[in-house]
Structure 1
Amino acid sequence: MDLETLKEWFTMENIMELIEHYRSFGPIPGILLPMVEAFLPFLPLFLFVMANANAFGLWFGFLFSWIGACLGALLVFSLVRKYGQKRILNFLKRHKKVEKLMSWVEDHGFGPLFLLLCFPFTPSAVVNIVAGLSKISIAQYMLAVLTGKMVMIFTISFVGYDIKSLITQPVRTAIVAVVILILWLVGKRIEGRMNNHVSKEKQGGY
C-alpha cells in the first residue's frame, strides 16, 4: 500500500469503524490515533479528533484526543532533544530555515508557539522537532503544547460534534474565543514566572 492509497483510506467513516471495532479496549484507540499522528504528520489529526468526539461524546472525545496529541508531542520532543546531535538531525539543525525557526522559538518562547499550536493545520511535527533542537526548556514547551492543543482540539471536537451550533448559537462560539484569550493570558503569566526563576538561578550561579 503506497502513501496516496493510505491517505485515501483515512475517511470519517473508516476511522469511526476502526474505533468501534476496537471499542472493547476503551479509550486506548482514541488516544493512540492522535499520538501516532505526532510521528506521522500526513495522518489527518482533525478527522481523528472529530471521530473521537462522535464516538465517545464531546467531552470524553476531546479528553482522549488531547491526551494522545500531547503525549505524542512530548515523545517527539524528547526523542529529538535526546538524539538531536545525531548525524541526520544535526543536518536539519544546520539548515538555514530550521536554524532561523529555532532562534525564533528560543527568542519568543510560549506566546507564538501557543498560537501556532492553536491552529489545526499547523505542521505540529515540524514544530515539535524544531523545539526539540532548540534550547527552549521542556517545561516552557509543554506549557505551550498543553494549552495550545487544548484550544485546537476542543475547537475541532466542538465543530465535529455539533457543526450547526457555530451558526445557530454564536454565544458558544464566543465562549471558545474567550477560553483562547484566558489560556493566552495564563500562559504568558506562567512563562513570566518561569523566566524570572531561570534568571535568578543564573544570577545565583555566578
Structure 2
Amino acid sequence: MNDWLNPDKIIELAQHYKSLGPLLGLFLPFAEAFLPFLPLFAFVLANAAAYDLWYGFLLSWAGTTVGSYAVFLIIRKYGRNRLLNFLTKSARIQKLIKWVERNGFGPLFLFLCFPFTPSALVNLVAGLSDMKKKTYLVTLMAGKFVMIFMISYIGYDIKALFTNPIRTAIVVVVILLLWFVGKYFERRLNAKVEADFRASASTHNHK
C-alpha cells in the first residue's frame, strides 16, 4: 500500500499512461461526458502529470468540451422524442429549463467552472432549452477552460504534492474551497429557480 503513496511510483504510472498515447488522454474526458460516473477529476490529473501542464490541459479541455457538446447536440435533437420523455418529466428539470432560457450564459458559465457540480445536468438542461447552439458552445469552452486549468495546475507536478507541504496545503485548501463554493452556487441556483417559478406561477394565476 505504501508504494501507491510513493511519488516516484505515481510518476512511473503517469509515464506508463503517457506511453499509451495522447488519444487515451483525449478519449477519457470525452467519455466522461456520456458516462458521468467516471472520475473526470482523476483523468485531468493524469493528463497533467503525464503530459505536463499545457499539453495535458489541452487534451483534457478538448476531450471534455467536445464530449459535453456532443451530449448537448444529441439531447437537442432527440431529447423530446417520445422514447426519451422521461428526461423532461421531472418538475425540477422543467424549472431549470425555463430558468436557463431566461438567464442564459452567466449562470451556466459559473456552474461549469466548478469541478464538483453536475455538468451532465447542465448539458441535459441546456439541450432541452432554447439556448442557441453557438451560445452553449462558447459557454462550455469558457467554463471548462477555467475548471480544467485549475485541476491541471494541481496535478502537473505530482511529486511536489508529496515533497512540498506548503503546496500540498494550498492544493487541499483550493479543492475544499472549490467544493464549498460550487455547492453554494448550486444551492443558490436551486433557490433562484424555485423563486422564479413561484413568481411566474403567481403572475399566471392572477391573470
- How much has 1:75 moved relative to structure 2? 0.7
Alignment pair present for 1:84 and 2:92: no
The partner residue of 1:43 within 34, 38, 46 is 38
Alignment pair present for 1:20 and 2:6: no
Contact 2:14–2:50 (Cα < 8 Å) also in 1: no
Alignment pair present for 1:158 and 2:153: yes
Contact 1:19–1:30 (Cα < 8 Å) also in 2: no
The partner residue of 2:124 within 115, 119, 129 is 129
Q: 1:167 to 1:21 in 2, by over 3 A?
A: closer
TM-score in terms of structure 1 length: 0.69
Contact 1:58–1:161 (Cα < 8 Å) also in 2: yes
Aligned to 2:61: 66
Distance 1:21 1:158 in 2: 18
- How much has 1:24 moved relative to structure 2? 4.9
Contact 1:19–1:29 (Cα < 8 Å) also in 2: no
Aligned to 1:101: 96
Gaps of 5+ in 1: 1-12, 174-206
Alignment pair present for 1:110 and 2:111: no
Distance 2:83 2:92 in 1: 16
Contact 1:115–1:148 (Cα < 8 Å) also in 2: yes
- How much has 1:130 moved relative to structure 2? 1.1
Distance 1:138 1:19 in 2: 38
Distance 2:167 2:67 in 1: 30
- How much has 1:104 moved relative to structure 2? 1.2
CA RMSD of aligned residues (A): 2.5
Query: Which digits, 9 at most, give the CA deviation of each residue in 1:75-114, with x for residues without a partner?
Result: 1001111111212432321321000011111111110000
Amino-acid identity (%):
52
Q: Which has the higher contact order (CA 8 A, sep 6+)?
A: 2
* Structure with max Cα Rg: 2
Distance 1:117 1:74 in 2: 13
Q: 1:21 to 1:157 in 2, by over 3 A?
A: closer
Distance 1:116 1:129 in 2: 13
Contact 2:34–2:67 (Cα < 8 Å) also in 1: yes
Q: 1:148 to 1:91 in 2, by over 3 A?
A: same
Where do residues 166-185 of structure 1 align in structure 2 (5 Å cutoff)?
A: none
Distance 2:128 2:149 in 1: 28
Aligned to 1:149: 144
* Equivalent residues, number: 156
Distance 1:77 1:139 in 2: 11
Letter in 1 for 2:132: S
Aligned to 1:203: none
